[in-house]
Chain A
């Protein structure tokens, strides 16, 4: 667990301190990674729990007053009892340490998604789902903070829940809003309980502990401080970079200082490598190895899942296109990796290298290759042929299993696949001489 400061103000002279986490997604699987062997699978299956344990340890180490969890503790769609049990286990630890926990549920773990048989420890307060609930946190007999929160009663909440929240009252001390919602618009995430920053500001709270957006971000630095801590463990290639939670210290004067603490045990990396100027396979392997060394050095002891994207034009393009070459390369890079505490798993090598010949030149050719490229080019405007081409894919994509398990191909991807198809043909048809030209 590494500590990174995101705010300058330090010193624990504050009267209040708490940890703000969200989107634990306990026990939800890693996606976008293929060819996992059981040993790696085991490691990945543990990762979200390890991150959660790191949060619990952090709370105890920092001796904070309470822990806030802003929804999506686990994916109720997974119906993982294990996740719920392990979650409560962690809460029990906090109970023994005398640390309170305030939880609001989000779209992935609405109130109705939890097992009825689980009993929450005494130190846990779960926000109601029917209205915003105001809870007072008492420290040494006095109300030290007011926490206002609301859970998702069911999964799909599309209305602005902030409207249900009461304004901060005059006699309230430090006030925290706890909610799983989308502030503003973020195209990457489904818009649950949408609201605006203005909505939040109007309530005059001191701190908004939000959840839902997985990338850690401080939405607003000035009062009210609005923070998405992100998920404590990235679970797919898109969730790369450090992941963790926030420790918030509030001084007696009401000054807020926040620290971002990394909690992830497995980190995703995507590296782009240009093949330009590389002449031999050995040079590419060397370059990949050096990237791996770099990642290993800079991962701070974390395990890493990384993908390489090969880009650019160069003589290696032809070699990369050879059947089985990339698989061999992968095997080579994975060779000797053991599942010790720190591992580096090269998840994939994506060949995005460009054809050595400019496509414009090919389009001008009056031969078979020209005809071929023109057909692909023509498809972009010819809707009928476009649909015909889509039709040839139906044996797989419209099969029962295909419909069930394979993502549909949208127009953009179709374009990409056509380009790929064209590359396959050009690779076979163009001679080396052509390539050199």
Chain B
């Protein structure tokens, strides 16, 4: 890559600096201190890599103004042009214009730079003396790795990669770390392991728990057995204790029994039995005495009762009478009321018959037809009479209505009037015409006014046109379009002429200005030329310059010769002092001065030819060529004289001689040279051979004069040119003036023509075309107005006629209608008339309708009257029929239908009455019969019973009979009862006597069975017996109790024996002791059971414990993770190792490549003094080896040589780097200052080598360096920063 152009907008002291077309080889930037070398150097660096990140860097603000920043145009290895632009100092603000014209940024820039970074660039490509002197910068790790990565062709920092791998690796595992993942996993696994180990103990624990469980069960069994035994014992003691009371009773009973008297037997409940027997006997005795008393009482009662036997015999008849008494009483009571009813009914019937009429009796009643058909025919008759009556009434009403209507119609007809109707059509037409009439009348008014106005207006316009213009003149005037066309043409012609004249005038003015300008310029030039008038002649100057260049060339020769002379003198002195001196110049004169002279000649020739004075150049060249030829011949002659085969002394002598000779010769030569130089110097105006500086000054002066001369000549040339131009301008000015004059004449002609036309048109000749056009348009307007007025007049007249016609018509009609002309406006008169007519018209319509109606009404009236007559006839027929009907029934013919119907209902009531009378009569007869029968019966009975009829009512007698009968039957019943009771009492008495006998026997037996004579004795015996049985019972109970506890037979015996042997307090003590024992034993058992339960729980828990499953799964998961991570770690470690190894290999194989390159450079620079550079592996040390094989470390090298070594190493790196990456421009900042000229030169050669591949910028403040570089590279471009 090479920098093609540098543009600085503003950077430090530079502003708007441009350097274009920089060559691809070496560019030397020269300048004194503060000329801006570092600034430029920094600018290039910053353009590439931006501002470094350090806070203390110099930002190089634009001191001379301009935008901070600039551009670099670079051409890459492919020959494409890129532009890198940075501005305003922002770090990332880089713009790259790509070869294809697109813009890019940082990425594109990095690509272009081949991934070289600031570090590499600043240490290897762009460096000054300071960087050169520090080898450490070269060993910078990043530079190294950059170099290696340059080899890989990738932009990755190997050390960065190494670090990143290490860091990931360390995050995974560190042998003694705790945070990394694997360490943590180990810890975690350890923890879980412990947990699992704990869980794994479960089975063992389970087995041991089971064993323990068995043990406990066994223990419990044993304890239970023991407690069982105890319990048995305890219950035995408790048994003993429980029967102790019984035992005591048993013993006591036994002794008591023994003490009682012997009594073999005694009846059971003997005492009780005795007492009961006694009581029974007593009771029986009482019963017997009561029964006898009762018997006596009954006999007395029987004797006191005697009932009425005859009455009792008639008992049934009396009872029958009793039952009939109620019937008899009610019939007796009813009879009078029935007779009364009968009488009333009969009276009612005769009344009703009277009501019907005198002819009516019960027979007539029988005869009368009162069937339903007869009644129906009456009703029908009544209905038809009613209907016909209604119809007659209705018809009459209708007739009345019709008559009313006819009356009303006749009244209305009288009101109508019809005279107006005759003129109805005319009146309507007139009414329709009212609006038009009004409009016409209005128009007539306004039209007349307008006509007046128009006429005055026209008159005014015409008077404005000027005198003599009236309507007649207007009609005469020619206003055709051709005449108008003429006016337009004329006007155009006049305008054109005027414009042309104006244009020419402008041109004339311009020409005048130009002439003035040229004159001024000529004047200025003349002044300038005046300044150069004092210049020397050019020939003289040319000679002077030739002389100077000759001096410039010969001066070093002279100096050399003088030097040689001095050395010769020194040698001569040496020879003189020691021995015959040995000349150094064994080969005679050196040949190089001849070459130098020839070279100087060449330079002179070239110089002069550049300056355009080839001739003088040739002269100088020939002169110098001759000199060199002479010298060469001499030198070769001298060298051909060889002092072979002489003695040593002679040799020395001859050498001395030779030295002297050559000295002389040299002296001569110097003099000749000086003479020639002086001659030249004189030509230049020097007295003697001047100093180079003075000479150069003179040369410069002359050069300047030469330039000035050239300028003066150029100025003169220009003056001449201007003069020529002036002449030309003057000529054209005159020409222009002539043209203007011709144009003015033409204008005059046109004007004359116009005037002629005006006159011919009868207009004032002073008028301009515009004026005439105006007049024309005015005339046209007047004509238009005239036409309008005529039209208006016509219309007004027409309207007037119409109005008049209408008015006449209206008056005639009004008259016809006999309407007075009231003096109001005609229109309203007509309107009123129209309203009247329309009213009359509608009235007529109505009258017609009424007439039709009255006709209809009369017709209807007649119809109704006929119908009424007919209906009356029908009514009469019906009346006749009715009278007939009445006659047949023998009724009064005057009876109405309603009365007949009434008779019907009265007849029915009569029949009802008749029926009731008959019924009553029957009832009365039956009642009388039954009363008589009853009375006879009563009398019979009384007679049988022997009782007289007392005169009392029959029913009372019956009542008495009945009560007597009841009394008699009661007495009879009582007697019977008493008899039965006496018999019963007798039987009872007999039975009581038997019982008494039995009981007495029983008592005797009882006493005998109780071994007693008396009852008292018996009671005594009974008491003893009771005592005895009581004791025996107690004894037996006690025995049973004991037996129940002890068991039977043998066990009982043993038990009793035991009872006999023990005492209660001892037993109680034993019992307490045993109870305590048992209690503690039971406690033991329950404790053990609890313990066993706990063990069971534990076992159950162990059985349910599934925690292990999860833990194991988690452990496996952790182990798997560990496995994965360990592999990951291993891969990283291996990767790091491979990388390290690769770096090592690369260093081993690549480093020599750098060093081989560096070695070539170093050898070249030191002119082969040092042949080898080497750097042992694993060491940053560098050693050099000289051509004799002697090794030196850097410390042993001189400063200059060390710097040359560093320079060589950098060159080596550059070469190597460029092989794999884009070669960047190299920037040196005065690195050669410490080099001796020779090494300087050889270094230049080295740089030249480098410059074949890389662009090289060399910054220096030393002109010699510049010169040397320029000498080494003829194509070098030197840029003087001072001059920029």
Contact = CB atoms under 8 A, between A and B. Distances in A.
| A and B are interacting partners | yes
Interface of A: 27-36, 38, 41-42, 44-46, 78-82, 84-85, 115-117, 323, 367-369, 371-372, 375-376, 389, 392-393, 395-397, 399, 401-402, 405-407, 409, 413, 417-418, 420-422, 424-425, 428-431, 434
Contact of B1145 (A81, A115, A371): A371
Contacts of B1104: 82, 85
Given A31-B1119, A406-B1122, 9 more contacts: A33-B1120, A41-B1114, A45-B1109, A45-B1110, A81-B1102, A81-B1103, A401-B190, A421-B1134, A429-B154
A376 B182 contact: no
A73 to B, nearest CB: 14
A417 B1142 CA distance: 17
A38 B1118 CA distance: 12
Contacts of A413: 1127
Interface in B1221-1272: none
Contact of A396 (B1105, B1106, B1130): B1130
B148 A392 contact: no
B1120 A27 contact: no
Nearest to A48: B1109
Contacts of A372: 1138-1139, 1142
A437 to B, nearest CB: 11
B1127 A368 contact: no
Interface of B: 148-149, 151-156, 158, 161, 164-165, 168, 173, 175, 182, 186, 189-190, 200, 202-203, 206-207, 209-211, 1102-1106, 1108-1110, 1112-1124, 1126-1127, 1129-1135, 1137-1139, 1141-1142, 1145-1146, 1149, 1220
Contacts of A395: 173, 175
A35 B1121 contact: yes
Mostly, the B contact residues are: helix
A418 B1113 contact: no
Nearest to A407: B1123
Contacts of B1133: 392-393, 421
B1109 A29 contact: yes
Most B CB contacts (10 A, CB to CB) among A27, A81, A418 go to A81
A368 B1138 CA distance: 12
B202 A371 contact: no
Contacts of B148: 368
A299 to B, nearest CB: 21
A42 B1109 CA distance: 8
Contacts of B1132: 421, 424
Contacts of A30: 1113, 1116
B1110 A41 contact: yes
Nearest to A428: B161
A70 to B, nearest CB: 23
A190 B21 CA distance: 83
B1130 A35 contact: no
Contact of B182 (A368, A396, A420): A396
Contact of A34 (B151, B1112, B1121): B1121
B1124 A401 contact: no
Most A CB contacts (10 A, CB to CB) among B148, B203, B1126 go to B203
A111 B1105 CA distance: 23
Contact of A425 (B211, B1118, B1139): B1139
A118 to B, nearest CB: 8
Contacts of A27: 1106, 1108-1109, 1112
Contact of A45 (B165, B1112, B1127): B1112
A86 B777 CA distance: 132
Contacts of B1127: 409, 413, 417, 420
Contacts of B206: 81, 115, 117
A420 B186 contact: no
29 contacts: A27-B1106, A29-B1115, A41-B1113, A45-B1112, A79-B202, A80-B1108, A82-B1106, A84-B203, A115-B206, A115-B207, A116-B207, A116-B210, A368-B151, A368-B1142, A375-B1142, A392-B1133, A395-B173, A396-B1126, A397-B1130, A401-B189, A402-B1126, A405-B1119, A406-B1123, A417-B1134, A418-B1134, A421-B1131, A421-B1138, A425-B1138, A431-B155
A401 B186 contact: yes
B1078 to A, nearest CB: 34
B1113 A424 contact: no
Contacts of B1220: 367
Contacts of A78: 200, 1108, 1112
Nearest to A84: B203
Contacts of B1131: 417, 420-421, 424
Contacts of B209: 117
Contact of B1113 (A44, A79, A392, A425): A44
Nearest to B1116: A29
A419 to B, nearest CB: 9
Contacts of B1110: 38, 41-42, 45
Contacts of B1146: 368, 371
Contact of A368 (B152, B210, B1113, B1121): B152
B202 A32 contact: no
B207 A117 contact: yes
Contacts of A29: 1109, 1112-1113, 1115-1116
Contacts of A430: 154
Contacts of A34: 1117-1118, 1120-1121, 1123-1124
A81 B1107 CA distance: 11
Nearest to B148: A368
Nearest to B1137: A392
A204 B808 CA distance: 159
A7 B149 CA distance: 67
A422 B1138 contact: yes
A393 B1115 contact: no
A41 B1123 CA distance: 18
Contacts of A31: 1116, 1119-1120
A84 B204 CA distance: 13
The 8 closest A-B pairs by CB, nearest first: A368-B152, A117-B210, A45-B1109, A421-B1134, A421-B1135, A34-B1121, A36-B1117, A29-B1112
A115 B161 CA distance: 58
A36 B151 contact: no
Contacts of A429: 152, 154, 156, 161
A418 B1138 CA distance: 9
Contacts of A401: 186, 189-190
Contacts of A117: 206-207, 209-211
